[in-house]
């Protein structure tokens, strides 16, 4: 370190280097220099060349700016490290069926997070927009954008300090929301739909538009939060497969439960129905008859309305239904019979139901 810098650090204040002072110094010009401090220690010097008294106010400003930037950089690095630790923690408790409770409790104590709080998992699938940011969002640093999305998520779902919100990967955000009781969980689920729709709108400000949100059931501690997470993931997969709109899913949503119902029927039972309906499924006109029957069911077994939806004459629809009856042995006028055939179609031919 050259002599003027040593002098500034020794003095611990701004030093002016007048013409008379620097004329006998090597490689030193008139100006002002100030010590740079970080966490109470002098670790550097900044100087401005020019008339000493004129540049003195500016050296104060530059000193303050540099020290502020150091503090901000350290703060950002610490926040980034904290977020990475939280992300790793979430991956551990959500992606593993069995976890080390002692290890998890130690982390919870360190981060001041309750281990035993009631929580349910909300998964927010945003696709891959963070990998393909456009000019608008590129203005924000990736860490800043992730921090903003987490902030929006926490505020949208009204989270307390024990709720955990983090990125699971670049395409998914998870929120482990705490609730005091089962009753409070019911209230939270009732609000979940409107809160999620609002959150989707807020994300779109940052050009994140491919958003799917799902909530799992209540867990009594972090020990079994994995189950709630997997439930939410299954809802997302199934909702995308069936193109259920809007893309906000939970097991307390009737439309989702009705769509999930066929999946709950055992494979052995479906095999028995397959055997009974094999001649129907192998008929050349099966697709046409299946689509006809689906529309008939979706119009509440109303022949006139179904014919209108299908753009066919009423008699044509009656003929098709009679043909279905003769091939299946089921009565299209009976609700129970129609329910059985409709669930079978929904289980085995999802794409037909989605089309209709």
Q: Closest Cα partner for 162 from 220, 108, 110, 199?
A: 108
Kindly give the pairing relationship between strand 164-169 and strand 172-179. Answer: antiparallel
Whether 137 and 229 map to the same domain: the answer is: yes
Q: Which of the 8 DSSP states describes residue 224?
A: G
CA 355/CA 346 separation, integer angstroms: 12
Whether 276 and 241 map to the same domain: the answer is: no
- Helix 142-156, helix 52-95: angle, nearest 10: 60
Whether 100 and 210 map to the same domain: the answer is: yes
Kindly give the pairing relationship between strand 248-250 and strand 212-219. Answer: parallel
The per-residue pLDDT for range 204-219, each reduced to its tens digit, is 999 899 999 999 999 9
146: domain range? 96-261
Q: Is residue 295 part of a domain?
A: yes
CA 282/CA 299 separation, integer angstroms: 26
Q: Is residue 81 part of a domain?
A: no
Look up tokens 């035993």; give the residue: 116
Instruction: Identify the burial level of 190 via C-beta atoms within 10 angstroms of its C-beta, where 0-12 means exposed, 13-18 middle and 19 or more buried.
Output: exposed
* Number of structural domains in the chain: 3
Whether 221 and 311 map to the same domain: the answer is: no
Whether 125 and 21 map to the same domain: the answer is: no
Q: Is residue 173 part of a domain?
A: yes
CA 250/CA 214 separation, integer angstroms: 6
CA 295/CA 305 separation, integer angstroms: 9
The whole-number pLDDT of residue 14 equals 95
Whether 104 and 242 map to the same domain: the answer is: yes
Whether 291 and 247 map to the same domain: the answer is: no
The whole-number pLDDT of residue 356 equals 60
CA 56/CA 76 separation, integer angstroms: 31
Q: Is residue 84 part of a domain?
A: no
Which residues of the chain carry a pLDDT beneath 50? Answer: 136-137, 139
The whole-number pLDDT of residue 354 equals 59
CATH number at residue 276: 1.10.10.2840
Rg (CA), the chain: 33
Kindly give the pairing relationship between strand 118-125 and strand 172-179. Answer: antiparallel
Whether 298 and 221 map to the same domain: the answer is: no
CATH number at residue 173: 3.30.70.270
The whole-number pLDDT of residue 132 equals 62
Whether 296 and 243 map to the same domain: the answer is: no
Whether 112 and 236 map to the same domain: the answer is: yes
The whole-number pLDDT of residue 353 equals 64
pTM: 0.72
Looking at 209, 243, 261, the residue that finishes a domain is: 261
Helix (H, G, I), strand (E, B) or coil at 131: helix
In sequence order, what DSSP letters do the residues of 271-299 get, joined into one string?
A: HHHHHHTHHHHTSTTHHHHHHHHHHHHHT
The whole-number pLDDT of residue 139 equals 45
């Amino acid at each position: 370190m050259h002599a003027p810098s040593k002098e500034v650090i020794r003095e611990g204040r701004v030093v002016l280097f007048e013409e008379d002072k620097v004329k006998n110094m090597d490689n030193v010009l008139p100006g002002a220099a100030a010590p740079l401090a970080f966490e109470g220690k002098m670790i550097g010097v900044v100087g401005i060349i020019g008339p000493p008294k004129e540049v003195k106010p500016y050296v104060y400003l530059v000193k303050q700016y540099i020290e502020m930037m150091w503090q901000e950089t350290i703060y950002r690095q610490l926040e980034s490290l904290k977020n990475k630790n939280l992300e790793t923690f979430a991956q551990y408790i959500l992606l593993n069926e069995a976890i080390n409770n002692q290890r998890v409790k130690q982390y919870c104590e360190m981060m001041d997070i309750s281990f035993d709080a009631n929580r349910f998992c909300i998964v927010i699938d945003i696709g891959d927009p963070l990998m393909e940011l456009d000019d608008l969002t590129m203005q924000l640093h990736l860490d800043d954008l992730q921090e903003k999305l987490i902030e929006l998520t926490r505020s949208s779902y009204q989270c307390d300090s024990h709720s955990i919100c983090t990125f699971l990967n670049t395409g998914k955000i998870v929120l482990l929301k705490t609730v005091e009781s089962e009753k409070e969980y019911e209230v939270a689920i009732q609000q979940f739909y409107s809160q999620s729709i609002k959150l989707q709108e807020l994300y779109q400000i940052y050009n994140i538009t491919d958003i799917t949100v799902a909530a799992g059931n209540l867990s009594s501690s972090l020990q079994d939060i994995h189950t709630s997470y997997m439930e939410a993931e299954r809802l997302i997969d199934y909702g995308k497969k069936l193109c259920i709109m809007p893309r906000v899913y939970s097991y307390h949503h009737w439309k989702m439960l009705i769509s999930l119902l066929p999946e709950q029927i055992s494979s052995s039972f479906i095999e028995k129905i397959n055997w009974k309906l094999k001649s129907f499924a192998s008929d050349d006109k099966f697709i046409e008859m299946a689509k006809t029957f689906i529309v008939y069911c979706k119009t509440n077994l109303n022949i006139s309305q179904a014919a209108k939806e299908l753009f066919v004459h009423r008699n044509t629809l009656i003929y098709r239904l009679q043909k279905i009856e003769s091939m299946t042995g089921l009565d299209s006028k009976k609700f129970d019979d129609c329910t059985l055939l409709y669930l079978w179609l929904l289980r085995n031919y999802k794409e037909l139901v989605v089309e209709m």
